Amino acid sequence: LVFLGTASAQATTSRAQQSVALRVQNETWLFDCGGQTQMQMLRAGIAPLSVTRIFISHMHGDHVFGLPAVIAMCANSSMQQVSASADVRRWEKVPLQLVGPVGLRAWLRTVLANSYVGLGRLRLQVHELHGLEALQQPKHVPAVLSGVPPLHGEVLAPPLWPEEDGAWSVPHPTAHGGRAAPRAPKMRIRAVEMDHTVPTVGWLLEEYPRPGSLHADRLLPLLEAHGVEKRLLGKFKLGTPIELPTGELLQPSDFMDPPTSRRIGLLSDTRDCSRAAAHCEGVDVLVHECTNACTNFDRQRGRGPDTIRRLAVEHGHSTPQ
């Protein structure tokens, strides 16, 4: 995880607006794109061509105003790579995936089209999350949802709806013909609704189970004693038993530790994360906002923790207290 920005709506000289980068294998996934994300990526050494997925929690400006600049930077990088590197060829086959609440697609089409952004070799695919409870309130329905033509190079995507447990499963980026992206990181991504002042989601990431450690000190002597080739170990680690000449089957579970799977919770702006609590139970890393804190400056002005918490909740945020 690389924290590119942790400030609130007001950026400072030392803290940029909201954005978190997750480096997964040879890819980079961005979670929110505040106003300074482009510069922060350069400072952090994150190559534009490595960005394959962008997840937007909600449409407040401090979480999305940097998105057009990031997309333009990725598009420019794709055009500058004359030799068509592997990353550029991947973009030509598999679009840059964006996921966020309803309204993201129309907003992005409008901004990019009216600022004359050319996508070059880059292709985009925007998945919108439908069925958020917050959208039932008329004041939360985006002003523009239709009538904005697709971008040149945009790949249309179906809407995403919540499953029985109330969370949304995010599909893997797809190549031509609907095939899954080649060599995509094996991780499940889900969205869960948060309680903020506008439709907002948090993100839950879980690796597919990875084989546990092999106890070679116990297994190899058996294989050598029966003349079994070590090349079978590859499939053995993936769950295929090894049959000895005697007919005995060596089961992977007897020579390997249990499978492991790391889980991450990235919860954006919220005054109440109870909807995500069950989904986040047992995560290895949890990132939670805490915009407002009761400081000595507040106490000097006669405002205690209860007052600060009330003000934070009114604005859809949380406090460290």
Eight-class DSSP state of 208: P
* For range 185-211, the mean pLDDT: 92
H-state helical runs in 59-103: 61-64, 67-80, 86-93
pLDDT at 177: 54
Contact 288, 229 (CB under 8 A): no
Poorest-confidence range of 66-80, 175-189, 232-246, 272-286? 175-189
What's the rounded Cα separation, in Å, for the pair 172 and 29?
Answer: 13
Joined together, the tokens standing for residue 190 give 């889900």
Instruction: Name 230's Cβ contacts closer than 8 Å, sequence gap at least 6.
Output: 220, 223
Residue 142 · residue 94 · CB < 8 Å: no
What was the pLDDT predicted at 2? 96
Q: Which residue has the higher pLDDT, 231 or 92?
A: 231
Tokens of 121: 């070799």
Angle at 106 between CA 103 and CA 110, to 5 degrees: 135
pLDDT value at residue 286: 94
pLDDT band at 143 (very low <50, low <70, confident <90, very high): confident
Confidence of residue 181 (pLDDT cuts 50, 70, 90): low
Contacting residues for 1 by C-beta, under 8 A, at least 6 apart: 20, 21, 22, 264, 285, 287
pLDDT of residue 183: 62
Burial letters 128-165, b for 16+ CB under 10 A, else e: bbeebebbeeeebebeeeeeeeebebbbebeebebeee
- How much is the average pLDDT of 285-310? 86
What integer pLDDT is reported at residue 30 of this predicted model?
98
Model pLDDT, residue 311: 87
The percentage of residues in the chain with a pLDDT greater than 90, rounded to a whole number, is 55
What would the mean pLDDT of 17-38 be, rounded to a whole number?
94
pLDDT of amino acid 173: 82
92 falls in which pLDDT band (50, 70, 90)? low
> How long a stretch of residues is the chain?
321
- In this predicted structure, the answer to whether residue 176 has a pLDDT above a threshold of 60 is no
Task: Output 230 or 57, whichever has higher pLDDT.
Answer: 57
- Rounded to two decimals, the pTM is 0.86
Mean predicted confidence (pLDDT) in 238-246:
91
DSSP 16-61: -SSEEEEEETTEEEEE---TTHHHHHHHHT--GGGEEEEE-S---H
Structure confidence at residue 28 (pLDDT): 95
Residue-wise DSSP of 277-319: HHHHTT-SEEEE-------HHHHHTT--HHHHHHHHHHTT---
Q: Is the pLDDT of residue 188 over 90?
A: yes
**What pLDDT shows up at residue 119?**
87
233-to-79, 213, 237, 240, 243 alpha-carbon distances in Å: 44, 12, 6, 9, 12
User: Checking DSSP bridges between strand 19-24 and strand 27-31, what pairing results, if any?
Assistant: antiparallel
Q: How confident is the model at residue 200 (pLDDT cuts 50, 70, 90)?
A: very high
Mean pLDDT of the chain: 88
pLDDT tier, 305 (very low <50, low <70, confident <90, very high otherwise)? confident
Residue 23 pLDDT greater than 90, yes or no: yes
43 pLDDT higher than 80 = yes
Mean pLDDT of 41-47: 94
pLDDT per residue as tens digits for the range 254-291: 999 998 899 999 998 999 888 888 899 999 999 988 77
